[in-house]
Amino acid sequence: MCMAQTKATYLDPAQPLEKRVNNLISQLTLEEKVQQLIYNSPAIDRLKIPAYNWWNEALHGVGRSGAATVFPQAIGMSATFDDDLLYRVSTAISDEARAMYNASIAKGYHQQYAGLTFWTPNINIFRDPRWGRGQETYGEDPYLTSRMGVAFVKGLQGNDPRYLKVAACAKHFAVHSGPEKLRHERNAVASIKDLRETYLPAFKALVDAKVEAVMCAYNRTNTEPCCANTFLLQDVLRDEWKFKGHVVSDCWAITDFYEGHKVVANSAQASALAVKRGVNLNCGNEFPALVDAVKQNLITEKEIDSSLAILLRTRFKLGMFDPKGSTPYDKLSPDVINSANHRKLAREVAQKSIVLLKNNGVLPLRNDLSLYYVTGPNAASVDALMGNY
């Protein structure tokens, strides 16, 4: 007589989350565990785990994944001073993101920029107008940045008590605001007062709003690399703020440990240090060295298990190991992508983001012309008008 095969615990939605996570980890080899800590995680066919690429962007619309509604850049949306409007924007973005994901999974696609983990919003403080990435932020004010960032995260992640709509990420933690050329080796020095009053409030606000991920920055902050920073990742993020989500490195930031910051000698030491200090996901290609790091007694497999458990919770909360139809977002179809309603919303945001400056004769422009001619290399550039990712 044939006995019905018992469903694996990690595939059973009726089981508690922690039990499912631990059951899955218990069936992985060390090499498989390490591979799951990397942004382009491969499939494990014997356990029915599909490949998953964690890297996705949605700064002002789903980026790099085909047609999508393009909303004004973050700095423009912030100029509306309307966090409710930003919530509506991020809700529309997450609708499109889920619809794209649903369509991709239905066809068996698991490529980059098609997942549900979005490395946005950028809540760095835009203090220096020479910083080339300032347009990604919500400006120079910690309070406004906090309000806008919280609204954006809530719209992205949804309000279901069990499942995340998509996973948002607060970046770049912390004191990351240029100069870009030096970010892989720079030590950003900030007093505790400046940290607490300027650079950390928005991150705390997003952690309080239960943002699912935090991305650590390339630079050092007060001597230690941000992705191995005891004060930032342990003392503040985990111990003080009680952050429960996962930490992802900025892309190839772990390489900077020995190529830029010179705090360790090689990739095995860098990877072990990052995991021990609190990084769960490697955007880059350093973490495969964790296998050698275990052999060299730089880190234990138990420590890797603990880090992986934090990371896997996100995938379970997104419903990735549950039957189709389990989440309230599984029914979102491609009809919502770049829809008329979303384009109408984008126009509303654009109109409300416009800031007019009065010209009192400073600029050589007449104020009574019916038509103005805009020229220059970017005047009609679609890429420039859409903004970066």
Cβ-in-10-Å burial (0-12, 13-18, 19+) of 341 comes to exposed
Q: Which listed residue (82, 83, 250, 256) is catalytic?
A: 250
CB 275 within 8 A of CB 285: no
Phi, psi of 201 (to 5 degrees): -55, -40
- For residues 327 and 155, give the distance between their C-alpha atoms in angstroms, rounded to a whole number: 16
Ramachandran category for residue 190: left, alpha or beta (phi over 0 → left; psi -120 to 50 → alpha) = beta
Q: Is 194 a catalytic residue?
A: no
CB 226 within 8 A of CB 232: yes
Three-state SS letters, the chain: CCCCCCCCHHHCCCCCHHHHHHHHHHCCCHHHHHHCCECEECCEHHHCECCEECCCECCCCCECCCCCCCCCCHHHHHCCCCHHHHHHHHHHHHHHHHHHHHHHHHCCCCCCCCCCECCCCECCCCCCCCCCCHHHCCCCCHHHHHHHHHHHHHHHHCCCCCCCCCECEEEEECCCCCCHHHCCCCEECCCHHHHHHHHCHHHHHHHHCCCCEEEECCCEECCEEHHHCHHHHHHHHHHHCCCCCEEEECCCCCCHHHHCCCCCCCHHHHHHHHHHHCCCEECCCCHHHHHHHHHCCCCCHHHHHHHHHHHHHHHHHCCCCCCCCCCCCCCCCHHHCCCHHHHHHHHHHHHHHCCCCCCCCCCCCCCCCCCCCCCCCCCCCHHHHHCCC
The catalytic residue positions are 250
